[in-house]
């Protein structure tokens, strides 16, 4: 799992950094932790969709 917490990825001081936090997720464990964090806190549909897209990308890389 990544050293960067879901909170750090999804609640950066500058909202433009959210996408960078998502793009740098490289494993499903980290991604699922971020989804859980978002669901428990902000529940932003756009962020959850981006996390879903990243999950698809990770799965494709594993094939």
pLDDT one digit per residue (tens) for the chain, 63 residues: 668 999 999 999 998 899 999 999 999 999 999 999 999 999 999 999 999 999 999 999 988
Q: What is the pLDDT of residue 3?
A: 86
Which residues contact residue 58 at a Cβ distance below 8 angstroms, ignoring those fewer than 6 apart? 25, 26, 27, 28, 31
DSSP single-letter state for residue 6: H
Compute how many other C-beta atoms are within 10 angstroms of the C-beta atom of residue 27. Answer: 12
Q: What is the pLDDT of residue 2?
A: 64
The domain spans of the chain are 6-62
């Amino acid at each position: 799992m990544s050293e960067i917490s879901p909170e750090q990825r999804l609640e950066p001081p500058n909202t433009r950094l959210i996408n960078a936090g998502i793009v740098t997720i490289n494993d499903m464990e980290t991604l699922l932790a971020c989804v859980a964090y978002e669901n428990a806190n902000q529940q932003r549909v756009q962020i959850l969709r981006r996390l879903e897209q990243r999950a698809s990308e990770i799965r494709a890389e594993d094939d």
